[in-house]
Chains A and B, each alone.
Chain A
Amino acid sequence: MNRRRMMAVARAEWIHIRRDPRSLVVILILPVFMLLLYGYGINYDLDRIPFAVWNLDGTQVSRDLIDEFRQNRYFDLRESVLEQRRIEELLDERKVVFVLVVPPDLGGTVGAGRPAEVQFVLDGSDTTRASVALGYIEGVLNDFSGQLQAQWANRQGTQVAAPFTVYPTILYNPDLRSRPFIVPGLIAVLLTLLAGLLTSTCIVREREWGSFETLIASPAAAGEIVLGKLIPYIVIAFANVVLSIVVGWVVFGVVPLGSMALLLTASMVYMAASLGIGLFFSAVSRSQQMAILFAVLLTFLPTILLSGFVFPLRSMPTIIAAIAQIIPATHFLVIIRSLYLKGAGLEILWPQLLVLAGFAVVIVVVAAGRFRKRL
């Protein structure tokens, strides 16, 4: 490997980039813009879940129960329903997420010290919303049942209401906001997108221009060309990483708890791997069009859907979760989230970092191999 030849390739690539200031601005602005838009827009904190009540009971217990829901910041009482048909209307028109139906004998059953049931008619069509709502409902009922048991125990003269108590301590994200979870993930996804766009076009472009033949005919080795082409993009990517971290901090107040040096290092390793993948697609595609198609279908969609960015890996079938392991973003997401939220260090994150580094090396070697063979 000749360092001077490699740097000559890098310099030429850098000149291409600089001569096209429009693209450069887009490349620098676009991820920041998307981070702002999506970081602000994507939010799955469910608060003020709209609900309605159909109270068939009318005792103090039922009123207390309803009050418990009304006072909770996660719920928003929209309507007191008077007849069954209205429930259907409210759900069909998506006015409420659920309707709480209090049975006629709730007060009596509870007063007699027996367990009672209340019905929740829930709109299950949006599963995320429905299951989170169910979780919150469960929480309210848990607390309310605890109160009832304490009151009952008092009346019965028993000393102890419950044999043990459990109060969850929430670690790492004590307010359970989705933003600190989403923003680091978004940074990872946007970097992936950027890497794909940057490199998938750069070799094919050269082929379409015809300058590729000259480059191949030169004494530069494939590895020198591939690395030389990578270097300018890694520089640009580094600028983007820094910009994203700043925006996450200034705009969203999301700051990494862990080591900044480790975050930057891991980001660079990840970018090298992602850029390498783009370069590989670029080397095997015949046209820019195909390179972009590859980048979108084979890297971007899986990165959004399979990496754990949105959907937890453990909810996936085993085969798909296994496939997810071969996506670099899966590992980078673990690193970036652990650094942001948990403040984990190298002693914990070294396996993921090692995997990423492995990806980077393998893909660059493979890309260089594919590169020489074809014109």
Chain B
Amino acid sequence: MSRLAHLIKKEFTQVRRDPAVLRLILIAPIMQLVLFGYAASNDVRNVPVAICDQDNSADSRQLAEEISQSRYFHLTPMAGDPRALEGLLLRGTVQIGLHVPRDFHRTLERGQTAQVGMYVDGTDSNNATVAAAYLTGLLRARGVSLAERSARAAGRRGVTMPGIRSEPRVWYNQDLKSVNFMVPGVFAMILLVLTVNLASLAIVRERETGTLEQLLVTPLRARELLIGKTVPFALMAMFDAGIIFLLARGWFHVPFRGSMALLFGMALVFLLHSLGLGLVISALARTQQEAQLTAFMVVMPNILLSGFMYPVENMPVVIQYVTYLIPLRYFLQIVRGIFLRGVGVEVLWPQMAMLVGFGVVTFAIGALAFRKRL
């Protein structure tokens, strides 16, 4: 066996014996999948709505009935006092309060326009926007059918109202399921989290236990040490990526439309970057604790600013420039592009070029930091 093979074998033996690392490797992907696959959902559904129906006529009850049947809304029962609406909104029990006034039915009868009050809790601005738009649309449609009914009642036949409805054709993710967006993101994230965390301990742990000194007097070459220290982490990260890929397809039914070779190929390129990052941290940190905290501080902006959770397009321009320096951003676009859009090199080449550039540069810096002197 060559020196390199001995080194790699030793790394695996150590991983096998370290419950904390094993946990990180086995639990982290599953935990992230559960969290992001199930919990991370911005889908507007079950928005709690309360109706204060002071009219209590067939028309107003019909209104409530229609809302309760929509999959977007969940009707919360309440008493007939409009002042109670405010309390419900303040407590956050409901997100939207509707007030149907006492003379609703009579106004309709007279052929006049009634006012329906709608109070939206705007705290969560996005959710509020979407929910309010959906509810307004639903009520307007109801208004149109009421108008048609009264026209028919007036004896005019075949009357319709003009209007424009949207007919959305959603591409890449027909049902707008968050899981289809999130799970490919986890695929990218796990590669980063795992390798940065493990690689950041690579040198500093040997230094803390005192083994580095013993290792450095052997004829082991710097580049052998570098490869021996990174290959096991790369293999473990790819193993996790494989698990996530299988679960994404088999359990979460995330569509996969692109090339698998391209996906895993780019994953390897991304690993160059994340391993390099870990090595830099490992070379700079004095203790394992410092290395772990630094790794954590590096992973944070990757989670929040890469487009993993929040669209980069929404960020202020200055921050958008910052995100160009986060290679995870390109890798996410590649992974999601391959998973959901089925695009390949012809579309993704700019991101790939950036990723290759970052991968080579970061790994080179990491390798430099990994000098063989004490």
Contacts and interface: CB of A to CB of B under 8 A. Distances in A.
Complex: A in contact with B (CB within 8 Å): yes
The winner among B43, B146, B164 for most chain A CB atoms within 10 A is B164
Give the interface size class of chain B.
35 or more
B215 interface: no
B6 interface: no
B289 to A, nearest CB: 5
Interface string A109-123: 111111111111111
Interface in B2-33: 20, 23-24, 27-28, 31-32
Contacts of B316: 40-41, 43
Contacts of B137: 138-139, 141-142
Interface string A317-328: 100100010000
B230 to A, nearest CB: 20
A131 B137 CA distance: 15
B133 A176 contact: no
Interface string A39-68: 011111110000000000000000001000
Contacts of A135: 44, 129-134
Interface stretch (B172-180, B234-242, B268-276, B352-360): B172-180
Contact of A159 (B20, B111, B160): B111
B115 A164 contact: yes
A70 to B, nearest CB: 16
B147 A120 contact: no
A310 B40 contact: yes
Interface of A: 34, 37-38, 40-46, 65, 91-94, 106, 109-132, 134-139, 141-142, 144-146, 148-149, 152, 158-178, 180-181, 197, 201, 287-290, 292-293, 296-297, 301-302, 304-306, 310-312, 314-317, 320, 324, 334, 337-338, 341-342, 344, 348
24 contacts: A42-B304, A42-B305, A44-B125, A45-B314, A91-B171, A92-B341, A113-B161, A113-B162, A117-B166, A123-B171, A124-B175, A129-B311, A130-B173, A149-B162, A160-B111, A164-B108, A166-B136, A170-B122, A171-B120, A176-B125, A181-B123, A301-B32, A305-B40, A315-B44
Given A115-B161, A148-B163, 12 more contacts: A115-B162, A123-B172, A124-B340, A125-B181, A130-B176, A131-B43, A141-B164, A149-B147, A162-B143, A166-B116, A168-B136, A172-B121
